[in-house]
Structure formats: structure tokens, C-alpha cells
Structure 1
Amino acid sequence: MLKEKQLEDIRILQEECERGEFTLKLNWETLRSRNGVHQNDFFHYVGSNLAGFLGLYDFGNKIEMCGMVHPDFRRQGIFTNMLEEAIGSAMKRENKLIILNSPAQSPSGKGFLAQVPCQLAFSEYQMKWSQMELGEYEDVVIRPSRRNDEQTEILLDIHCFHFTEKEARDYYQRILYEDTLKTMMIEKDGRAVGKIRVDNSGGEAWIYGFSILPEYQGRGLGRKVLKKLVAEQSQLGYDIFLEVEATNDHALKLYESCGFKTIQRQDYYRYEGLK
């Protein structure tokens, strides 16, 4: 579990590295709920100041990595050393695909990854909702997840996100401890047929894990669910964000039709140094 000072140090370093030009994907909801089972966080201090940080994020069959080095301490081997440690930690876990993440607008990130054995795997759009008339959604039922929804949540991650059953069960257990992340179940005719997760922190609402069982897709249910959740979060005063892979054209069009606009892109590189 990370200490409050460590979290504050990461926040300060993130501000120094971004400077309004891009956003590093540090998965704050995960950082705040580390359980200490694996070594997932790597720090480099210069005196009392944090000069470098790299975090590992275990998502089912893959481990994502994202990190940063203060502009004043770059080209000193700091990130290379942290990455070597992180790769060592990731290799101790079973059959994990290692993915390195960098904002598309980060020249330093792209420059570093050009020297690493990796290939661009996919890109992800980060989108923000703009005020618009949402239309009808009143007949949709969304409720908080309960413990007896566990099997449905696991099935959704298997069918919609291609997790293995073990990966889906492990992921379900891990996110139970993410305090700011809420899972909502989507019901149709009294049956839970989908889920959508929202993380509320820092005046922002981030939507994750939006999925509906295959036999209930293509009926307009997803559009109504998204509209209802966006309306609720907007009324609570949150700025609303979500992420979608660039290859998921159907989801991208759905989000755009509900008022979401792309604000930046994250690039994900498959690490190939394990061959």
C-alpha cells in the first residue's frame, strides 16, 4: 500500500512532467488501492524530491506500464533502471503480455520507446463529454453491484474483454478494494445483463468496463445506459471522461453520438524483449 507522501510525490512529479501538454495514464484509482501483493511501484529520489516513477497495472492477461522522469533529470539512465526492475517484476507473473504506455503527444516518451524492443500494439482515445441534449433513457435500470453479481461480472469480462476465467476472477477481487471505483449493473427484464464502472475523484468521473452480454447487444440498450449514467454524473457536477481503443469503431461512434469528443490519444507498445 502506498503512503500518502508517496502519492503526493507522484502527483507533484506528474504535474511537472505534463505541464498542460498531455496526460500520463497513471491509473490513480489503482495507485490509491495497492494491496502490496506484488512490487508494482518503482521510485527514484534525488534527495527528498521524487525524480522518477514507474507503475505496473495488472489487467487480466496483460501488465501495463507507465512512468515519468522529471525534465531536469532525464538522460541519466533513471527510467532505464526503473524499467529493468519493472520488467523483472512482471516476468515473475504467469503468461503476462507486457505493454508500455506513452501519451501520443509526449516527445520524450516516444524518444525513449524508440530505443526499447517494442512495437506499437494499439492506440486508445481519451474522450470528454460535452453538454448536449441526451434524449430518452428513463426505461433503463442501473443499480449498484452486489456480491451475488460476481459470476455475471466475471462472464462479462470473459465474453467482452477476452479474459480467461482465472484472470476475470482475479480482476474482480482486485477492484473490490478500489475505493473510488463503483460498479453498476445493467438490468433487462429483471436480469443483470451488463455492467458499467465509474471512478469519481478530483471532480472527474471516468467510465470504465462498459459491457453487455452478447445476446443483449445491438438493441440500443448500451446507448440508453450511457445516456443515463452521463446525465446522473453531470447532475452531480462531474466532468465526464472515458477511454476507447481506436480499433473499436462501433464504440467510438456510440460515444460520439452521445456527446463525447476526443481530447488526446494514448499509445500502447508491446514489449518484445522477452523472446
Structure 2
Amino acid sequence: MLTNKQLIELESLQSICETGNNYELKLNWDMLRTREGTEVNDFFHYENGVLVGFLGLYVFGNKAEICGMVHPQFQRKGIFTNLLSKAIQVCVERQYEEILLNAPANSNTGKKFLYSITCNYAFTEYQMKWLETELIEDKDIRIRPSVSAADLQLEIQLDVSCFGFSGAEAVDYNNRIRRENDQQFNIIEFAGEAVGKIRVSHEGNDAWIYGFAVLPEHQGIGIGRKALKKIVLEEHKRGNSIFLEVEATNAHALKLYESSGFQSFHAQDYYRYYRNNK
């Protein structure tokens, strides 16, 4: 569990690393603020009592994502290599099936490091922001809070069928994110039947959409588009700015979001790490 002092140090280091650069580091602050004390997922490097290097490990089912940073004045000193070595050891011990390293698409120093360890490019993830667009709300879609055991079971089922989680991983993941105080869990209903889910995380006046999925047997008939419009309109009425993330490999989702008024403003490149580093 991270202390308030560590969180403040991380915010300061991130600001230093991003200053003068046209990118944002994806440190998954919602997860950093709700770390549990049972696992080691964060690695720090201090020089004379000052935090100059950090690496975070973020777990999504059987997949681990890694992102970190080093103070510009302390780069090329082996700090990140040492932090990454410790994180990879943890990933191997926990037997994650996939390890992804994340760097902003515009980060030259990040790319140089990734090329030095011969990772393979996997995909690009775009952060998108909704620009006010005229949307007409559909009345045949209902979005309501997830409140029951049956709702939770549906969300677990969706993570298995739509996001590739195993059953046990989906249970563990859903139990964990429910401990995050800023999360709003919603069920999508169509024709009176629960068919999907959409989660919204709030930070100030920013609303981020996550975990958006519809059961495969109900896909292809516009439910997803209607649900997205409904949640966007609700957040817009509350005065919130609306954001989401999507992989470039998911062409259908990318087209859906763009046609609903979302535009990309940052990109994160992901590289697949192989344990034998080949």
C-alpha cells in the first residue's frame, strides 16, 4: 500500500518527467491510489532521499502491464534496468502469461530503452476525449447501477467472453476494482434483459469510461452504440469531460468512438516482453 508521501513523490516525479515533452505517462493513478498491502507491485529508486526512479506493475487478469519513469538528470545510469529486472522477476514468479511494457508514443527515451531489450511492438492504445457532438438518446436502452450478485456474475462473464480473462482471474479482478472508491459500475439493459456493462471512473470533473462490453450474442445490433451515447449524455449533463481508451487493433471500437464524437489526444505504445528477451 502506497503512503501519501510516496504518492506525492510520484506526482512530483511525473511532472518533472513530462515537463517540456508532448506526452503523458500512463501511471494508472486509480490503481496506485488503491494498492493493497498483500503484493509488491511498485518499485522505487532514491538518490540522497529524493525519488528519481519508479516502476509500476499493473495486473489485469493473466496479463501484467509495466510503466515507469526516471528523472531526466538520472537517466542512462541503469536505474530503470534495475527496476525492470525486479519487476520481471515478480512477473515470472506469479506466472503471468503476458508481460507488456508501456511507453508514450512520443517518448524517444522510452522507445530507445525498449529497443535495447528487443521487445516486440504489440499495439497502440489511444486516449480519446469526447468533443461536444449532437447525440440523440435512445429510449430502448437502460443503464442502471450494478447492485446484485447476478449483476456481478454478468460482469465476470463479460470479462471472460469479451476480454479473455479466465474465470478465476475475472473473479479476482472484479473483486479488486470494487474496492476503488471512484468507480461507478453500470449494467446495460436492452428489452428488459441485462446484456452488458460499462464502468465510469471519476476524478474531479473528468469521467473515464472503462470495461465497456456487450454479450457476444447481443452484439451487432447497435446496443453498444446506444449505451455509449446514453452514458456520454449523462456525464455531459453533469458538466464532466469524458474520456476513454481504445486499442488501435480494435478497429470496430475505434470507429464507434470516433463516430460518437471522440477524438484521440494521446497515444501509448505497448511492447510484448519475452522472458528469454528474444
Q: How many residues align?
A: 275
Q: Classify the secondary structure of the residue corresponding to 2:94.
A: coil
Alpha-carbon spacing, 1:66–1:202, altered in 2? closer, same or farther (3 Å): farther
- C-alpha contact 1:122 1:246 (8 A) present in aligned 2: yes
TM superposition shift of 1:95: 3.8
Deviations 1:124-165 (A, max 9, x none): 111111011011323321111124112101110111111111
The match for 1:266 is: 268
Residues 129 and 261 in structure 1, CA contact (< 8 A), matched pair in contact too: yes
Q: Where do 1:1-275 residues align within 5 Å?
A: 1-19=1-19, 21-148=22-149, 149-274=151-276
Following the alignment from structure 1 to structure 2, what is the Cα–Cα distance between the partners of residues 248 and 221? 17
Report the more deviating stretch, 15-24 or 247-256: 15-24
One-letter code aligned to 2:100: I
Deviates more, 1:136-145 or 1:37-46: 136-145
Unaligned runs of 5+ in 2: none
Offset of 1:103 from its aligned partner?
A: 0.7
Q: Which amino acid counterpart does residue 6 of structure 2 have in structure 1?
A: Q
Separation in 2, partners of 1:138, 1:26: 37
Deviation at 1:30, TM superposition (A): 0.6
Distance (whole Å) between structure 2 residues aligned to residue 94 and residue 104 of structure 1: 28
Query: RMSD over aligned Cα, in angstroms?
Result: 1.3
Alpha-carbon offset, residue 77 of structure 1: 1.0
Kept after mapping to 2: 8 A contact 1:29/1:181: no
CA distance in 2, matches of 1:107, 1:202: 31
Contact (CA 8 Å) 1:118, 1:273: kept in 2 or not?
no
| Distance in 1 (alpha carbons) for counterparts of 2:184 and 2:29 | 14
Distance 1:274 1:93 in 2: 16
Tell me which stretches of 4 or more aligned residues in structure 1 moved more than 3 Å. Answer: none
Q: Deviations over 1:248-275 (max 9, x none)?
A: 1111110001100011211111111347
**Structure 1 residue ranges without an equivalent (≥5):** none
Q: Aligned to 1:2, what secondary structure does the other structure show?
A: coil
Give the 3 Å change call, closer, same or farther, for CA 65–29 of structure 1 in structure 2.
same
Moved more, 207-216 or 133-142: 133-142
TM-score normalized by structure 1?
A: 0.96
* CA-CA distance at 1:242 after TM superposition: 0.6
Q: Matches of 2:71 and 2:234 in 1, distance apart?
A: 38
